[in-house]
């Protein structure tokens, strides 16, 4: 890690300096405003103007309580990460330091919180890692399991993606020294790029890491691996004699994003889940974009899954032939329990995500969609209302009210059902208008998500 203080301006006239004055209060600088992080794969990319700059999720969280750095004037921090060995080097420059009331931030300690043992002390040592550790990934995964899968990743001459034969997904189980060592070097990327993630326990063998690598030739006989992305998956026990796979972290390195690699890695994970006959494959708190990718992967799988087609056709026919009203029981338009069970058993898609995809399946079946959009919007609106408030109109007669009590106030309430849907005097805390506006916003957002998935699937078919 390089730490340099820039020399003062020799042209400044000392006689013009103020002898008496009040020091300015140090307001600090946000970490995101003075730190740039670059992902580089070659020595000549270090310091180059066209190096790949990554956009961290939240740098501020690693500095002080308010995310600011104090005590530096003209601070500039440049960090390079070697995408071959995952070593890092930080170059720190500033004009001067002074305690303006908030102290002087310990930059080395803060950066080590992120980069830990990957942080190299000198630039020369960092540059040497491009040659001394060019086979790092290859050596680490040598004991891993190269997965044999049947997933199809497609072809596109404009995708910028490697040929299928160059890609491998390798599984490594934690508790193994090589797996733990490799993941430890990936932790900075997890902290910087996977929102809300914490490092996994490298000593727990229930954790598995799936590495998507490209096998790249070096000369005529040699080769090395380039890591494109990875997923950390936890294997839960499922009674009585099965297991469940949960994706905790999944990341495609920024230079390789938007080229289909995340889609490909997810297909391989499903292939593993099916071949090992686990109960299902779930995702821990999926972000919106990954949920979108997941839906784009699973909807075609569901479209080709024969056991649910009668249920899909039945709902589509109902929406085409019946005009829905706000009082319609749209819960009847959800997939039957048998379909949910078939999907979980055959495709390893859990119920919650199947319901998410179900909305897309119905949309695709309503052709021309413009003719049935009003009915479809009612269906989506009621689904969202059900998720937020409770089961659609079937619970419209139920009411919960708090009652005074000398016992635990949070546990004191009465539930009753009004007869024949009669009005009650129980009022909601929020205005009805505000709730309707919020609901409409959610409906519009969900409809846009569904349309985007439908457009992408339509492009793949053409």
**How confident is the prediction for the chain on average, in pLDDT?**
84
Percent of the chain residues past pLDDT 70, beyond the cut: 80
Report cis status (omega within 30 of 0) of the bond before 143. Answer: no
Instruction: Name the residue among 72, 100, 81 with its Cα closest to residue 37.
Output: 81
The DSSP code for 327 is T
Concatenated DSSP letters of 119-188: B-SSHHHHHHHHHHTTTHHHHHTTTSEE----------TTS-PPPGGGEEEEEEEBTBHHHHHHHHHHHH
pLDDT, one tens digit per residue, over 382-402 is 888 887 765 444 444 455 455
The sign one gets for the Cα dihedral 438, 441, 447, 450 is: negative
Lowest mean pLDDT segment, chosen from 182-186, 414-418, 452-456: 414-418
Query: Which residues lie closer than 8 Å to 362 by C-beta, 6 or more apart?
Result: 312, 315, 316, 319, 333, 376, 379
Tell whether the model's pLDDT for residue 198 goes beyond 80.
Answer: yes
- Residue 41 near residue 84 (C-beta atoms within 8 A): yes
Tell whether the model's pLDDT for residue 158 goes beyond 70.
Answer: no
Tell whether the model's pLDDT for residue 164 goes beyond 50.
Answer: no
- Residue 290 near residue 302 (C-beta atoms within 8 A): no
Q: Which pLDDT belongs to residue 418?
A: 45
Q: Which residue has the higher pLDDT, 153 or 454?
A: 454
Confidence band, pLDDT 50/70/90 cuts, at residue 245? very high
State the catalytic residue, choosing from 30, 284, 402, 445. 284
Tokens 């936890």 sit on residue: 234
Query: How far, in Å, CA of 79 to CA of 2, rounded?
Result: 10
Q: What is the dihedral of CA 242, 244, 245, 247, to 10 degrees?
A: -170
3-class DSSP state for residue 72? strand
Angstrom CA distances, 137 to 75, 144, 147, stand at 34, 11, 17
User: Is residue 284 flagged as an active site residue?
Assistant: yes
Query: How far, in Å, CA of 186 to CA of 182, rounded?
Result: 7
Instruction: Name the residue among 443, 447, 450 with its Cα closest to residue 326.
Output: 443
pLDDT, one tens digit per residue, over 327-344 is 666 778 999 999 999 999
3-class DSSP state for residue 84? coil
pLDDT mean over 134-161: 68
Tell whether the model's pLDDT for residue 348 goes beyond 90.
Answer: yes
Q: Determine how β-strand 2-5 pairs with β-strand 145-146.
A: unpaired
Q: Determine how β-strand 413-417 pairs with β-strand 167-173.
A: unpaired
pLDDT, one tens digit per residue, over 408-424 is 545 455 545 444 444 44
Query: How far, in Å, CA of 397 to CA of 385, rounded?
Result: 15
pLDDT, one tens digit per residue, over 306-322 is 999 999 999 999 999 98
Query: Which residues lie closer than 8 Å to 303 by C-beta, 6 or more apart?
Result: 361, 364
Tell whether the model's pLDDT for residue 65 goes beyond 80.
Answer: no
Q: For residue 312, is it left (φ>0), alpha (ψ between -120 and 50) or beta?
A: alpha
- Residue 324 near residue 379 (C-beta atoms within 8 A): yes
Output phi, psi for 219, to 5 deg.
75, -155
The sign one gets for the Cα dihedral 41, 44, 47, 52 is: negative
Q: Please tell me the pTM assigned to this model.
A: 0.82
């Amino acid at each position: 890690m390089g730490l340099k203080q820039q020399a003062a301006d020799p042209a400044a006239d000392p006689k013009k300096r103020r002898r008496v004055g009040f020091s300015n209060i140090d307001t600090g600088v946000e970490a995101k405003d003075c730190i740039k992080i670059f992902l580089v794969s070659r020595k000549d990319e270090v310091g180059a103007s066209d190096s790949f700059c990554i956009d961290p999720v939240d740098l501020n969280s690693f500095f002080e309580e308010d995310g600011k750095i104090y005590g530096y004037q003209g601070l500039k921090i440049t960090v390079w990460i070697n995408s071959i060995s995952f070593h890092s080097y930080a170059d720190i420059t500033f004009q001067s330091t002074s305690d303006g009331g908030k102290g002087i931030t310990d930059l080395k300690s803060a950066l080590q919180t992120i980069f830990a043992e990957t942080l190299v002390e000198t630039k020369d040592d960092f540059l040497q890692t491009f040659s001394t550790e060019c086979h790092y990934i290859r050596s680490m995964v040598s004991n891993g399991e190269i997965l044999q899968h049947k997933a199809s990743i497609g072809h596109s001459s404009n995708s910028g993606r490697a040929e299928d034969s160059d890609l491998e997904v390798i599984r490594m189980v934690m508790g193994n020294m090589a797996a733990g060592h490799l993941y430890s070097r990936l932790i900075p990327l997890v902290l910087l790029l996977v929102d809300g993630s914490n490092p996994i326990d490298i000593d727990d063998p229930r954790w598995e890491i799936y590495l998507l690598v490209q096998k790249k030739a070096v000369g005529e006989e040699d080769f090395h691996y380039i890591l494109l992305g990875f997923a950390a998956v936890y294997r839960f026990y499922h009674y009585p004699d099965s297991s469940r796979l949960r994706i905790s972290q999944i990341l495609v390195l920024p230079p390789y994003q938007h080229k289909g690699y995340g889609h490909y890695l997810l297909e391989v994970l499903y292939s593993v889940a099916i071949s090992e006959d686990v109960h299902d494959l779930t995702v821990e708190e999926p972000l919106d974009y990954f949920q979108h990718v997941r839906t784009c992967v699973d909807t075609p799988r569901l479209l080709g899954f024969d056991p649910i087609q009668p249920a899909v056709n039945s709902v589509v026919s109902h929406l085409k032939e019946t005009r829905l009203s706000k009082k319609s029981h749209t819960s009847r338009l959800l997939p039957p329990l048998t379909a949910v069970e078939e999907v979980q058993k055959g495709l390893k898609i859990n119920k919650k995500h199947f319901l998410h995809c179900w909305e897309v399946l119905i949309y695709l079946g309503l052709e021309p969609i413009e003719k049935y959009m009003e009915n479809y919007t009612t269906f989506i609106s009621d689904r969202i209302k059900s998720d937020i408030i409770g089961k659609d109109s079937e619970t419209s007669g139920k009411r919960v009210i708090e009652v005074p009590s000398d016992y635990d106030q949070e546990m004191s309430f009465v539930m009753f059902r009004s007869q024949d849907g009669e009005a009650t005097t129980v009022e909601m805390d929020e205005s009805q208008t505000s709730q309707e506006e919020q609901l409409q916003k959610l409906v519009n957002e969900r409809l846009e998500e569904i349309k985007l998935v439908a457009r992408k699937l339509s492009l793949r078919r053409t």
